[in-house]
């Protein structure tokens, strides 16, 4: 799980005036570590905005929503979303989604994608294993380059 480069910012409790624990709007971006909420929306991005939660979102009220993207906005959850029974997992645009309502194909490798075509919420797939590349480190690639160099030098040597 990633952590913000500048430390942690955890949000919890009530936001009486807005009914949202983390709310970005009008082209804004926010990055937080974890969110715990009993507000209407634990996390909401509206009007061309983005939120990235590097940890978990926990909604404590069964009548409320874990995460919402509205009007061309995006939310990325690097951890999990936990809601009580009967709560709404995710809302994208005007559509409420359960945990099982993710898209068949994802637009972001390693994430479950929830979208209405205009708004998107991505939630990290805990079972995702990234494909191993042939050269997973710089040192493996350098080692192979040296082997190829000496093999090539050996073939040249044979011709003389």
Q: What is the pLDDT of residues 6-44, one digit of tens each?
A: 656 555 555 444 555 677 778 888 888 888 888 788 888
Tell me: do 34 and 104 sit in the same domain: yes
Total domains in the chain come to 2
Residues 6+ apart with CB under 8 A from 67: 41, 42, 43, 44, 53, 57, 75, 77, 81, 89, 90, 91, 121, 123
The mean pLDDT of 109-131, rounded to a whole number, is 94
Q: What is the pLDDT of residues 52-84, one digit of tens each?
A: 999 999 998 888 899 999 999 999 999 999 999
Tell me: do 154 and 102 sit in the same domain: no
Tell me: do 152 and 97 sit in the same domain: no
2 assigned to some structural domain = no
The mean pLDDT of 136-143, rounded to a whole number, is 62
pTM of the model: 0.75
d(CA 67, CA 141): 42
Tell me: do 84 and 106 sit in the same domain: yes
What is the domain range of residue 158?
Answer: 131-160
DSSP state, residue 145: H
Residue-averaged pLDDT of the chain: 81
Tell me: do 89 and 109 sit in the same domain: yes
Residues 6+ apart with CB under 8 A from 145: none
Top-confidence residue, 3 or 84: 84
The first and second tokens of residue 156, run together, are 């040249």
In this predicted structure, the answer to whether residue 101 has a pLDDT above a threshold of 70 is yes
- Give the pLDDT of residue 80: 95
């Amino acid at each position: 799980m990633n952590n913000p480069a500048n430390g942690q910012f955890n949000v919890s409790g009530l936001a009486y005036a807005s009914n949202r624990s983390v709310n970005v709007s009008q082209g804004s971006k926010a990055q937080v570590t974890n969110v715990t909420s009993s507000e209407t929306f634990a996390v909401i991005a509206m009007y061309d905005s983005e939120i990235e939660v590097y940890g978990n979102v926990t909604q404590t009220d069964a009548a409320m929503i874990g995460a919402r993207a509205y009007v061309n906005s995006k939310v990325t959850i690097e951890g999990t979303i936990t809601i009580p029974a009967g709560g709404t997992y995710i809302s994208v645009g005007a559509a409420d989604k359960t945990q099982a309502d993710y898209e068949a194909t994802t637009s972001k490798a390693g994430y479950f994608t929830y979208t209405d075509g205009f708004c998107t919420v991505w939630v990290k797939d805990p079972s995702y294993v990234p494909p191993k590349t042939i050269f997973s480190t710089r040192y493996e690639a350098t080692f192979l380059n040296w082997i190829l160099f000496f093999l090539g030098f050996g073939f040249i040597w044979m011709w003389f």
